[in-house]
Structure 1
């Protein structure tokens, strides 16, 4: 009996799951099997590939070099099989299911309202669960199937995950609509010396994402407050003398206005990411396409948003 005749699709899925989760018990739970059944399939896989495939280290099953070399080819095979079984046409209006998205605070406000407007029109049977973005275990959540897509920034996405840029975003400097700074041209040095609030969702500290950019001009920011979400910033600025750099797609906001600053930081990318296993999934492709459409929709530029409130 040759090696091919000893393999089946379930074994390939188990091998991929073991590489991703590195735990017999977690793979068993994910696949609805007993741990004993997973162990038996692993024994057969070891015989077929003539390699130990996984070495136990503490509580982990660490993949061997041979196992890792099999990951991409097996994923390609599984994706092709899914393509063969999938309907030729995907009709979102007939789709029924639950989709889980991990999103940053920014993405929740900038993308999800418009996305849900599209979903309610075109895929009324699709239900959405939104989770807080957890950069430390996003790979694990995608691998286990607990997560379908993530909305974030490239620096928070593991290199092993595919992603697509949705659009470029720009930080705009804002202050209370009553701020005295609105009546003058403001230099970057003026902003650096002004009391600032920053958004730091994952790390509670007083160091923002624009520190290196300010350093290029030899400036140190006067950061006096850090908050975990963008939504609170306009309320805080409205009644204080503080300023903040704020994403343009979250403007206009009636509490704040845009400052005429002589320098703005470089734009940053907003992306959607997924697991390689779902690259060919029809519903994933459709959702990514909807997000691209939402991302391409017109959003007020800094100048336009500023005119709306100054």
Structure 2
């Protein structure tokens, strides 16, 4: 091996220390090595640079002109290497970049307006692209680097992704604003029998997220319509006799009202998910922290 391939960082540090301390024993003590090890490194350096580099005069090692000429370059190289190990200080205000988020329409309505207000104020150089949530190919997209962050529900996230829970949400039962009111909470039997609208974000079918919960209690829901997202639900309920389970954070809405029922379905988690390769990404962690603030 010739040239630069024969030079390693330890040798550069030995040469820099000798130029500074001009004493083999002092260098050995500073670097935690033996004097013999320092002398061996110096032998290799002399061979590499084809120069004596240092001439012993008593206990002092006097640098040759060649060694003095190398000093500035060596110190710059070592300084740059040391800088690689210093954690960079992330500053949202100075960040410049594009970040792509895939989100359900629920997340777009419940979280993104507040997130955008924060990013415009605290990270003006950050540009956001928001895509519809496509559960069928989300893993492929995020693995290919086409998505940076997912905001969705646990059941829609592939097992190989990392996620953090932002908060727990609760579905409540709603009907159109002009629907008849009841003086008593509706029983689950009454709720199950009423014509219902469900949101089927992942599949176009007449199935809802609480079907199993009803079935476990011995009821089959009367589902008559499904839509792909939450945004159209208030308009549809306001003109029909349908009821629906709707996320509490999207209320109040003047087109619908809450129906009191004897027991609510279990709450669900809203999460932010990302690829493991982004675990140490400053912009990912900052954005997730902002989502948790909202």
Give the distance between the partners of 2:118 and 2:102, measured in 1 at CA: 18
1:119 and 2:119 aligned: yes
Give the distance between the partners of 1:202 and 1:162, measured in 2 at CA: 20
**Per the alignment, in what secondary structure is the counterpart of residue 139 of structure 1?**
helix
Partner of 1:100: 100
Partner of 1:252: 252
- 1:68-87 matched pairs, under 5 angstroms: 84=84
**Per the alignment, in what secondary structure is the counterpart of residue 231 of structure 2?**
helix
Distance 1:181 1:195, change over 3 A: farther
Deviations 1:128-151 (A, max 9, x none): 000111112222211211110001
- 1:49-64 matched pairs, under 5 angstroms: none
- 1:120-199 matched pairs, under 5 angstroms: 120-199=120-199
Distance 1:192 1:123, change over 3 A: same
Deviations 1:276-307 (A, max 9, x none): 1111011111111111111xxxxxxxxxxxxx
| TM-score between the two structures when normalised by the length of structure 2 | 0.70
Partner of 1:208: 208
Give the distance between the partners of 1:145 and 1:84, measured in 2 at CA: 25
Distance 1:197 1:86, change over 3 A: farther
CA drift of 1:110 comes to 0.9
Give the distance between the partners of 1:263 and 1:90, measured in 2 at CA: 46
The two structures, once aligned, show a CA RMSD in angstroms of 1.9
Give the distance between the partners of 2:203 and 2:287, measured in 1 at CA: 30
Give the distance between the partners of 2:276 and 2:185, measured in 1 at CA: 49
Q: Which has the larger radius of gyration?
A: 2
Give the distance between the partners of 2:265 and 2:128, measured in 1 at CA: 34
Give the distance between the partners of 1:244 and 1:274, measured in 2 at CA: 31
- The total of aligned residue pairs comes to 215
CA drift of 1:88 comes to 2.6
CA drift of 1:87 comes to 5.2
Partner of 1:44: none
**Per the alignment, in what secondary structure is the counterpart of residue 197 of structure 2?**
strand
CA drift of 1:182 comes to 4.2
Give the distance between the partners of 2:168 and 2:107, measured in 1 at CA: 13
Give the distance between the partners of 2:175 and 2:278, measured in 1 at CA: 43
Question: What residue ranges of structure 2 are gaps of 5+ in the alignment?
Answer: 6-80
Partner of 1:261: 261
| TM-score between the two structures when normalised by the length of structure 1 | 0.66
1:229 and 2:263 aligned: no
User: Which consecutive segments of 4 or more residues in structure 1 shift more than 2 A?
Assistant: 83-88, 181-185
**Per the alignment, in what secondary structure is the counterpart of residue 185 of structure 2?**
coil
Partner of 1:285: 285
Give the distance between the partners of 1:161 and 1:270, measured in 2 at CA: 15
Partner of 2:274: 274
CA drift of 1:106 comes to 1.1
Give the distance between the partners of 2:146 and 2:86, measured in 1 at CA: 22
CA drift of 1:184 comes to 3.8
Once the two structures are overlaid, the 10-residue window that deviates more, 247-256 or 201-210, is 201-210
